[in-house]
Amino acid sequence: MCGITGFTGKGTALPVLMQGLEKLEYRGYDSAGVTLADDKGLRTFKAKGRLSELRKIVENRELPQHTGIGHTRWATHGVPNNLNAHPHTNSTNTISLVHNGIIENYVSLKQMLENNGYVFQSETDSEAVVHLIDYYYRRFQDMETAFKRAVRDLEGSYGLCVISTYAPDTVFVARKESPMILGIGEEGTYCASDAPALLEYTRKLMTLNDGDIAVLKPDHIALFDAKGNEKKEEWMEFPYDLQLALKVGSDTFMEKEIHE
């Protein structure tokens, strides 16, 4: 379980994502990546090793997109390399996904998807989820419906963030047994696997409840329970300063991770 960041709003997504991933570096990771979305398409950049390697790849590019997702990976399925690094995309490069956790039933999902003509690029469990969302998108022709339907098929633990050219100003988020914080501010809406990634931008935060789904738009977030019923958001003003938030209630980062 490592780091996730997501953003959609008025501002430029890349600095928000990179900054957030930096704040999550203390958790350790073996590779990092981002995808940015607009109506022209998805652009994904990944690098094995430190976040500074990813920074070298993105820093001199024109990347003004307002929606994106980022990831630092701690490999559980497949070696640490560029192909296994997240985000993972579908074959038409229209849907991109980052995942923290382990999809326990990925073997049977992969089998079903391969039987339906899907070709896998990586050794990860996570890649099955992006193809599964594609599979349901083809059936329902609607990203929100496809995302919610795909999440219902998953067993195991997951923090998921998904973006798509089919809904270029939206971040789809779900979590089970893996942490996920949501945020809302002047510039847009945010998600991250831990609060320090967001505190630079907003203090209006909430925890996504286990099993719930969030749909982030530039100026609001819709919440749903596992059955798809809409829920009311319950925001709180985060009171701590950044240093404290990094290890709130624990003496060390390791202790904090064990509590989580």
Contacts with ligand GLU, residue ranges (CB under 6 A): 1-2, 73-78, 84, 99-102, 124-126
Q: 169 Cβ partners below 8 Å, 6+ apart?
A: 8, 66, 67, 217, 218
Nearer Cβ to ligand GLU (102/226): 102
Q: Shortest approach of ligand GLU to residue 144 CB, angstroms? A: 24
Tokens of 73: 């990976």
- For residue 28, the SS3 value is coil
Q: What are phi and psi of 98, to 5 degrees?
A: -120, 145
Q: Shortest approach of ligand GLU to residue 240 CB, angstroms? A: 25
Nearer Cβ to ligand GLU (107/242): 107
d(CA 35, CA 161): 11
Q: Shortest approach of ligand GLU to residue 97 CB, angstroms? A: 11
Nearer Cβ to ligand GLU (63/75): 75
Distance from chain centroid for Cα 123: 19
Q: Shortest approach of ligand GLU to residue 84 CB, angstroms? A: 6
Amino acid making up residue 34: V
Nearer Cβ to ligand GLU (33/183): 33
Q: Shortest approach of ligand GLU to residue 38 CB, angstroms? A: 26
Residues in the chain, how many?
260
Q: Shortest approach of ligand GLU to residue 154 CB, angstroms? A: 12
d(CA 32, CA 11): 22
- Mark out the alpha helices in the chain (DSSP H runs): 13-23, 51-58, 106-115, 127-140, 143-152, 242-246, 253-259
Q: For residues 96 and 163, is the Cβ–Cβ distance under 8 A? A: yes
Nearer Cβ to ligand GLU (8/193): 193
Q: Shortest approach of ligand GLU to residue 1 CB, angstroms? A: 5
Nearer Cβ to ligand GLU (80/218): 80
d(CA 190, CA 171): 9
Nearer Cβ to ligand GLU (124/202): 124
Pairing of strands 156-164, 95-103: antiparallel
Amino acid making up residue 198: L
